[in-house]
């Protein structure tokens, strides 16, 4: 099932998604080994509209970062298509992407390893602009404007990464992603390496930049609370498959898949009483732990951990179907208790 599709606007004009992913499959390895191994990403589809943030959430190993790598050309898809503003970029090499797809950029998780310590901030920000054929003087002007747009002084372009804190480095990484004026940005766990106060500052900065520039974000995270803050819609992944998707408020406040319930109840909240109630609900549901058993090869991958599973769950992969306000891949979604 396709998560979202281009839809007619009120004027009758069809809105082309900023990013369109269809039936994406990614297998690691080659030859027989790859064919026999379970895919890291298994038939994932979603759209992101212009100016929208889609949260991609799941535990470690769910396939979130693999999807990001496939979109950026860092991992070759085994099947499926990726389109940016209608342009198919699935089979493009990295060299072709550097020339033709300035619209797609990334902010990586670790602000300490994502910047070259031997190059000034200006050299780092100018490089992609020079590859686009922009003159040296104009490129430097844009680099200065870029660091100023993320709340740093213009003379930061003359300094080195080691002279900045982790939060400042992540602001520089955001400036590097935006200096080419892209329309789609992949945010791969952009705040998970930062302390809580710095996380809030960076998230607010990202929200402001998105609204000011009409950017589309694919926001990859493991924390549903962070996803809820920045995203309009969410896709919940488990073992490379979409478990649930829909408006972020519906997914986080009234989840219909047992796995989404587990993620939501595990997310920290600032109210101790609510946190205790969520923990009790999770324990009462009898949810298994990650990696507790081998996933079903033919049915729902969550079967070994799911307290609601029956024979049909192990035998048939549940399709995404609308349950309440969210498409959910669960045979027994109507039986999932409310949080």
Whichever domain contains 223, its CATH number is 3.40.50.300
Q: Give the pair of three-digit tokens for residue 87.
A: 């342009």
Please report whether residue 190 resides in a domain: yes
Q: State in Å, rounded, how far the first CA of the chain is from the last one.
A: 26
pLDDT at position 286: 62
Q: Give the pair of three-digit tokens for residue 306.
A: 């799911």
Query: pLDDT by residue (tens digit) across 144-171?
Result: 999 999 999 999 999 999 999 999 999 9
Determine the average pLDDT of the residues in 219-237. Answer: 93
CB distance 52 to 10 below 8 Å: no
Determine the average pLDDT of the residues in 211-240. Answer: 94
Which domain, by its residues, includes 190?
Answer: 19-103+182-335
Please report whether residue 168 resides in a domain: no
Count of the separate structural domains present in the chain: 1
Determine the average pLDDT of the residues in 101-106. Answer: 84
Q: What percent of the chain has pLDDT over 90?
A: 63
Nearest Cα neighbor of 235 from 220, 214, 256, 225 is: 220
Query: pLDDT by residue (tens digit) across 198-209?
Result: 999 999 999 999
Please report whether residue 158 resides in a domain: no
Pairing of the two strands 19-26 and 79-84:
antiparallel
Q: Given a cut of 70, is residue 7 above it in pLDDT?
A: no
Beta-strand ranges (E) seen in the chain are 19-26, 41-48, 53-57, 79-84, 87-88, 104-107, 184-188, 216-221, 233-238, 241-247, 321-323, 326-328
pLDDT at position 294: 60
Please report whether residue 173 resides in a domain: no
Query: pLDDT by residue (tens digit) across 12-33?
Result: 556 899 999 999 999 988 777 7
Please report whether residue 9 resides in a domain: no
pLDDT at position 282: 65
Query: pLDDT by residue (tens digit) across 254-294?
Result: 999 999 988 887 776 666 776 677 667 666 666 655 555 56
């Amino acid at each position: 099932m396709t998560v979202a599709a281009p839809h007619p606007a009120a004027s009758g004009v069809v809105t082309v998604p900023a990013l369109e992913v269809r039936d994406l499959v990614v297998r690691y390895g080659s030859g027989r080994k790859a064919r026999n191994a379970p895919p890291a990403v298994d038939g994932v589809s979603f759209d992101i509209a212009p100016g929208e943030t889609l949260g991609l959430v799941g535990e470690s190993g769910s396939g979130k970062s693999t999807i990001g790598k496939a979109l950026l050309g860092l991992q070759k898809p085994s099947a499926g298509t990726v389109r940016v503003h209608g342009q198919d970029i699935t089979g493009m090499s990295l060299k072709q992407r550097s020339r033709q797809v300035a619209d797609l950029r990334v902010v990586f998780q670790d602000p300490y390893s994502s910047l070259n310590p031997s190059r000034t901030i200006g050299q780092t920000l100018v490089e992609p602009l020079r590859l686009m054929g922009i003159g040296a003087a104009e490129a430097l002007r844009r680099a200065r404007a870029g660091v100023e747009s993320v709340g740093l002084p213009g003379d930061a372009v003359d300094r080195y990464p080691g002279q900045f804190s982790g939060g400042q480095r992540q602001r520089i990484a955001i400036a590097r992603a935006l200096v080419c004026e892209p329309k789609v940005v992949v945010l791969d766990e952009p705040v998970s390496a930062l302390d809580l106060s710095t996380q809030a500052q960076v998230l607010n900065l990202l929200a402001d930049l998105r609204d000011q520039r009409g950017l589309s974000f694919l926001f990859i995270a493991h924390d549903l609370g962070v996803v809820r803050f920045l995203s309009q819609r969410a896709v919940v992944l488990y073992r490379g498959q979409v478990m649930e998707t829909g408006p972020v408020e519906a997914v986080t406040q009234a989840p219909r898949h047992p796995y989404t319930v587990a993620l939501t109840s595990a997310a920290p909240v600032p109210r101790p009483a609510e946190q205790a109630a969520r923990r009790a609900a999770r324990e009462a549901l009898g949810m298994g732990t990650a990696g507790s058993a081998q996933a079903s090869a033919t049915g729902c991958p969550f079967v070994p951990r799911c307290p609601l599973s029956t024979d049909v769950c192990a035998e048939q992969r549940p399709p995404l179907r609308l349950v309440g306000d969210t498409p959910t891949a669960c045979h027994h979604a109507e039986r999932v208790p409310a949080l």
